[in-house]
Homo-oligomer: A and B are copies of this chain.
Amino acid sequence: MSAAISPLAPKKYPSMPIVDGVRIATAEAGVKYKGRTDLLAMVFDEGTTVAGVFTRSKCPSAPVEFCRENLAGGAARILVVNSGNANAFTGKKGRATTAAVGEAAAGAVGAGRDAVFMASTGVIGEPLPAERITGFLEGMARDAKPEGWLEAARAIMTTDTYPKVATATASVGDVDVVINGIAKGAGMIAPDMATMLSFLATDAPIAAPVLQELLSKGTGKTFNAVTVDSDTSTSDTLMMFATGAAARRGAPVITDARDPRLAGFRRALNRILKNLALQVVRDGEGARKQLEITVTGAKSSRSAKKIALSIANSPLVKTAVAGEDANWGRVVMAVGKAGEPAERDLLSIWFGDIRVAHKGERDPGYSEEATSAYMKKDEIALRVDLGIGRGKATVWTCDLTKEYVAINGDYRS
């Protein structure tokens, strides 16, 4: 709906390698959009393990409930994702759709229905007719190719202004493995339009419980540390698939999350998760600036993160950044409203390297001119030191602009 590409879009895309054991197909199913792909199938070789992290919403979409059930099996053969319709708040009809798509997808790859995973993103509350999707799956499974990660990222876009991909290599034992990831999302949610979805795959041989632990722990400082508008989707889905194909090249099968041979893999995975999460923030609806918020000196890391998110979700902080205004009074307000331990007279605040407030008062060396110059940048770093402990956390968000209101308030008129 928003025509222009975000000014924070990547200048170039990485060349995406194949992931041994993964094949990709996209299609123009016409669920809602015309003249673009809106259906993605990712087919996995036998032996692929799976892990997932889903929305905390108490009203999750039908596909989220479907995936949660199948995750217990720990094995995946196919992932089906459509854009244009979220299949959320669709009641019994929604469950009938996931059942029909699940059956067709299982048939297309000759697997059990518990090896199927799916996600939907788009309008909430509109029934999603399964037949728009099911007829495509057999052909897609047959024709799927190892290449096509960027096309996969395009097929799942909604209000996104650019596709989001990331890749890394790591060693498991002495064997190189690949991790690829895609994501979509332009608000934490904009239920008529958007949601956050991300899918990763690797050829590393990693048992499902280990994969789950890696993924769950990896989200804390990445996907769970970004916010566009504080609104939580009914459909947020992050899944990772490990085909294990690298075992044929001698990679050891990892069955324990404490295995030291995972160290490099864990670092590479966390880097990809952070990369994709930041791409979502940088495509935040109406975003003109990225804002990194670091809280140090808090009572605990948990407390630091709560305060950082209170700042990141404050409309007054976000509009100030949009207005290129180093309004540290609003930062103090957001620290105060977080409800976490803080002492006004110990607080210090920096924009970039410029300390604007120190020990509860305006910094004596405060320069309006230097601060204003800094606020013109398109990446703003804000740091708050509470001076009462050793807890710290960093979160990321974007500014709140008139375009956000226009995208979310004007599109029906």
Q: Chain A residues in contact with chain B, CB under 8 A?
A: 55-60, 86, 88-93, 123-127, 187, 189-192, 229-234, 313-316, 319-320, 322-325, 327-330, 332-342, 344-345, 347, 357, 359-362, 400-402, 404-406, 408-413
Q: Is the CB of B231 within 8 A of A314?
A: yes
A89-B344, A125-B362, A404-B405 provided; 9 other pairs, C-beta below 8 A?
Answer: A59-B335, A89-B329, A90-B361, A125-B332, A191-B333, A232-B337, A319-B404, A319-B409, A325-B409
B187 touches A336 (CB 8 A): no
What are 26 A-B contacts defined by CB distance under 8 Å?
A56-B339, A57-B333, A58-B337, A59-B333, A89-B329, A89-B360, A89-B361, A91-B344, A91-B359, A91-B360, A125-B332, A125-B361, A127-B362, A191-B327, A191-B332, A230-B313, A230-B314, A231-B314, A231-B337, A232-B336, A315-B315, A315-B400, A315-B404, A315-B408, A325-B409, A400-B405
Closest 6 CB pairs of A and B: A124-B329, A57-B336, A323-B409, A59-B336, A232-B337, A319-B409
Write the chain B residue with the least CB distance to A407: B319
Given contacts A125-B328, A323-B409, A409-B322, contact A59 B316 (CB under 8 A): no
Which residues of the partner chain B approach A86 to less than 8 Å between Cβ atoms? 329
User: Which residues of B are found within 8 Å of A323, using beta-carbon distances?
Assistant: 408-413
Q: Nearest CB to that of A341 among chain B residues?
A: B58
Taking a contact as CB atoms under 8 Å apart, the answer to whether A60 and B189 are in contact is: no
* In contact, B408 and A320 (Cβ under 8 angstroms): yes
Q: How many copies does the complex hold?
A: 2
CA distance A411 to B325 in the complex (A): 9
- Distance between Cα atoms of A400 and B361 in the complex (Å): 32
Whether A333 pairs with B405 at a CB distance below 8 angstroms is no
What residues of chain B lie closer than 8 Å to A57, measured between beta carbons?
Answer: 333, 336-337
Cα–Cα distance between A58 and B332 once the two chains are bound (Å): 9
A409 to chain B, nearest CB (A): 3
Asked whether B405 lies within 8 Å of A125 as measured between CB atoms, the reply is no
Question: Given known contacts A58-B338, A59-B333, A332-B59, is B189 in contact with A316 (CB within 8 Å)?
Answer: yes
Q: Which residues from chain B contact A408 at a C-beta distance below 8 Å?
A: 315-316, 319-320, 323
* Distance between A72 CB and nearest chain B CB, rounded to angstroms: 21
| B191 and A88 within 8 A (CB) | no
A339 touches B58 (CB 8 A): yes
* With contact pairs A58-B341, A319-B408 given, residues A124 and B189 touching in the complex (Cβ less than 8 Å): no
